[in-house]
A = this chain, B = another copy of it.
Amino acid sequence: MLETRLDLDRIHAARRVIDPMFLDTPMYPCDALGRRLGCTVHVKLETANPVRSFKARGTELVTSLLAGQGRTDVVCASAGNLGQALGWSGRRRGLNVTVVASRRAPVAKLDRIRALGAELELVDGDFEMARERAADIARERGIRLVEDSLDVETCEGAATIGLELAGAESTFDTVLIALGGGAMATGVGYVLKSLLPGVEVICVQPVGAPAMTRSWHERRVITTESTDTIADGVAGRYPIPAVLDDLLAVADDAVLVHESSIIAGMRMLLEDTGLVIEPSAALGVAAVLEDRDRFAGRHVVTVLCGGNVDLDAYQRWVRR
């Protein structure tokens, strides 16, 4: 019995609340990519939806709950993807959505948050500064603050990916999950450890944003002064204790990868699968690139968690 904040029955129930558009996403083998990586590779594609990331799985739950409680307003901090997802789910349920983001977030993400009708407030600092400002707004206005990874619905939403992996026909032995705040890693990890305990759950974070990975290895919260990575979606500095506890219960490993590997991963995914993904979604491929021996001959699934990227930056990264 895994001791976490997660619960299989609730995760199954979540599937009935989430718009089917965000569920049962494509999962398929990529032979060419596997040949290059020296292992069998399936991708689980979370970018083919209106918000281009898995985050709506969680915001569908959160906003459904809020609407049921008669709430009218909600605020979140976002690196860019949660804000879009909350904008989408909130609009559908008549909620006024406010998103706080860093001015340094990709323009594409900020534009799309606005386009979804959310009120966008920018802060000069990084994601952690946006988190503080969002909390202030929630207090000032007396409205609900959605906290990614801390609010269990965000983990349960992501965990529905785990149900889909566990129900897949293919028999994989490893799942590679991008690690940021931890909602996806704990959610997917919990389901896999519950239903397919033999599958290794490996979390991947950039060397330039290692707070959660270091915390996992030291089994206590480690914060960092700054972050330095193109993988903007996972660049937090203050791990949440309750999420770390869950991660300790469900992850088999947490590894760090270099920017060059993330870029190589994005390029390979474009060349071998035709998919444009954001840096965070290339973390899994990057992990294989940095430790080929470990993955040789194995059957890995890598979750392509998001595809929100500034095209100019993307072109620079993938150009040879």
A contact residues vs B (CB 8 Å cutoff): 20-21, 24-32, 45, 47-50, 52, 112, 115-116, 169, 270-271, 274-276, 307-309, 311, 315
Among A47, A116, A274, A275, residue most surrounded by chain B Cβ atoms (within 10 Å): A274
In the bound complex, do residue B50 and residue A274 qualify as a contact, i.e. CB atoms below 8 Å apart?
no
Known A-B contacts: A21-B26, A30-B50. Give 17 more (CB < 8 A): A20-B169, A21-B27, A25-B26, A26-B48, A28-B48, A28-B49, A29-B50, A31-B115, A31-B116, A45-B48, A47-B274, A48-B275, A270-B276, A271-B311, A274-B307, A274-B309, A275-B276
Taking CB atoms, residues of chain B closer than 8 Å to A112 are 32
Taking CB atoms, residues of chain B closer than 8 Å to A308 are 274
How many copies of the polypeptide does the oligomer hold? 2
The one of B29, B49, B115, B315 that contacts A26, using a Cβ cutoff of 8 Å: B49
In the bound complex, do residue A32 and residue B307 qualify as a contact, i.e. CB atoms below 8 Å apart?
no
* CB of A87, distance to nearest CB on chain B (Å): 11
* CB of A185, distance to nearest CB on chain B (Å): 23
Q: A22 — nearest CB in chain B belongs to which residue?
A: B28
Taking CB atoms, residues of chain B closer than 8 Å to A32 are 112, 115
Taking CB atoms, residues of chain B closer than 8 Å to A27 are 21
Q: How far is the CA of A237 from the CA of B311 in the complex (A)?
A: 37
Q: How far is the CA of A73 from the CA of B309 in the complex (A)?
A: 45
Taking CB atoms, residues of chain B closer than 8 Å to A275 are 48, 276
In the bound complex, do residue B28 and residue A21 qualify as a contact, i.e. CB atoms below 8 Å apart?
yes
In the bound complex, do residue B31 and residue A50 qualify as a contact, i.e. CB atoms below 8 Å apart?
yes
Among A28, A30, A112, residue most surrounded by chain B Cβ atoms (within 10 Å): A28
* CB of A46, distance to nearest CB on chain B (Å): 10
Taking CB atoms, residues of chain B closer than 8 Å to A26 are 21, 25-26, 48-49
Q: A25 — nearest CB in chain B belongs to which residue?
A: B26
10 A–B contact pairs at CB < 8 A?
A20-B169, A21-B27, A21-B28, A26-B49, A28-B48, A28-B49, A29-B50, A48-B275, A270-B311, A274-B308
Q: How far is the CA of A50 from the CA of B33 in the complex (A)?
A: 11
Q: How far is the CA of A276 from the CA of B52 in the complex (A)?
A: 14
* CB of A112, distance to nearest CB on chain B (Å): 8
Q: How far is the CA of A51 from the CA of B156 in the complex (A)?
A: 32
Taking CB atoms, residues of chain B closer than 8 Å to A49 are 26, 28
* CB of A118, distance to nearest CB on chain B (Å): 13
